[in-house]
Amino acid sequence: MDFKSVIRTIPDYPKPGVMFRDVTTLLGHPRAFRAAVDAMVQPYAGMRIDKVAGIEARGFILGGAVAHQLSTGFVPVRKKGKLPHTVLGEDYDLEYGKDRVEIHVDAVKPGENVVVVDDLIATGGTCFAAIKLLERAGAKVVGCLFVIDLPELGGADKIRALGKEVTSLVAFEGH
């Protein structure tokens, strides 16, 4: 499957000079969505995976499908203030300021093998924070899955530097 052909590019969004890679067109294409989920699951087929952690929001869609295929549980990694129960949180830097991701305190058990899923890896800040958060909760993050990598922004390399396996289905040049 040529995933690039089903991912829409929107120039100058959210600001001039940015080429926004819109994965919603892939999600709306039945064969491409199925092929993407199958390709994301493949590296972990036969491995013990206890949970899939999906990063808000498109990571929920992809992560839920990956968790279903791996017959495992799903952990939503949410933005601050969105979860109703007691949470653990991890702050991370944005271009202008800080943000925070959170999980429920009982979302993972110590020693569980977890795969992190999101639609895109750019600078890696959100994924880095999710990994730190899950590991602080006792999980072992065994890898990270993305549909899109923007290699020029260095996020995948930042995650690999943590010793994590990174799988992406397609890479786009630029931002």
By annotation, the residues acting in catalysis are 58, 95
| Alpha-carbon span 134 to 69, nearest angstrom | 21
Amino acid at site 119: D
Which of these, 84, 65, 68, 73, lies nearest to 109 by C-alpha position?
73
What is the separation of C-alpha 44 from the centre of its chain, rounded to a whole number of angstroms?
A: 15
Q: What gap in Å lies between CA 22 and CA 27, rounded to an integer?
A: 10
The H-assigned helical ranges of the chain are: 24-27, 30-41, 58-70, 125-136, 155-160
